[in-house]
Structure 1
Amino acid sequence: MAARGNRPAGAPADGRALNLLCTAAMVAVVLSAFFVIHSSHACRQLYAELQGLEADQWFLQEDYSRLLLEESAWASHHRVEKVATGELDMHSPAMQELKVVAP
């Protein structure tokens, strides 16, 4: 039987070292839990921002499509010819108004 002063090898000196180790482990667990909470919150914020940006992209794409359609309507050959003859009094030249330039 071992006397009080003789401890087996590797045994803690007293219960304080074990309490300190448990406290350090508990603090590490709590800190890691807070970091998980923080990273989850940041992830949710970034995802919400992504959804907002995707909605903005959708609206801008719709506007761009409408503008392309409007541009093609304004630049149609029929409309250009109508404006040229109606508002600008332009016309195709007659045969006697044509001049051929020799090279």
Structure 2
Amino acid sequence: MAAQRPILAGDSARRGRVALLPLMMAVVLSAFGVIHSSHACRELYAELQRLEADQWYLQEDYSRLLLEQSAWASHYRVEKVATGELGMHSPIVEELKVVAP
């Protein structure tokens, strides 16, 4: 029979350290993953806030432009420009021509 090597206290401790090394590496890598994902989350949240602020400003501008468009296209203003600046008027009866089909 082959003689077995006796297990020494130093061997057991070394095996424990060797087994612990992959676990420690996994913990460190996991910690770096958490740090990276937290940083990415903060960056994305800051980007979201910036985009929401841009959306708010654009919505405000759009509302202002709609109000301005309705003011420029009002019936009273169109009639005023047509008569004042373009010299247009409603046709009188003598200017009307009826076309038969």
Q: TM-score range by the shorter chain?
A: 0.7 to 0.9
Per the TM alignment, residue 50 of structure 1 is displaced from its structure 2 partner at its CA by 0.5
Instruction: Tell me the number of residue pairs that the alignment of Structure 1 and Structure 2 aligns.
Output: 95
| Deviating 4+ runs (over 3 angstroms) | 4-7
Q: Which residue of structure 2 aligns with residue 95 of structure 1?
A: 93
Q: Which residue of structure 1 aligns with residue 83 of structure 2?
A: 85
Q: Which amino acid aligns with 2:69?
A: E
Specify every segment of 5 or more residues in structure 2 that has no aligned partner in the other structure, as ranges. Answer: none
Q: Which has the higher helix share?
A: 2
- CA deviations over 1:55-93 (Å, ceiling 9, x no partner): 000000100110011011101111000000000110011
Q: Which amino acid aligns with 1:75?
A: A
Identity %: 72
Specify every segment of 5 or more residues in structure 1 that has no aligned partner in the other structure, as ranges. Answer: 8-12
Q: Which residue of structure 2 aligns with residue 70 of structure 1?
A: 68
Q: Which residue of structure 2 aligns with residue 42 of structure 1?
A: 40
Q: Quote the Cα distance in structure 2 between the aligned partners of 1:79 and 1:15.
A: 94
Per the TM alignment, residue 14 of structure 1 is displaced from its structure 2 partner at its CA by 3.2
Per the TM alignment, residue 5 of structure 1 is displaced from its structure 2 partner at its CA by 4.0
SS at match of 1:14: helix
Are positions 1:20 and 2:31 aligned together? no
With structure 1 as the length reference, what TM-score do the two structures score? 0.85
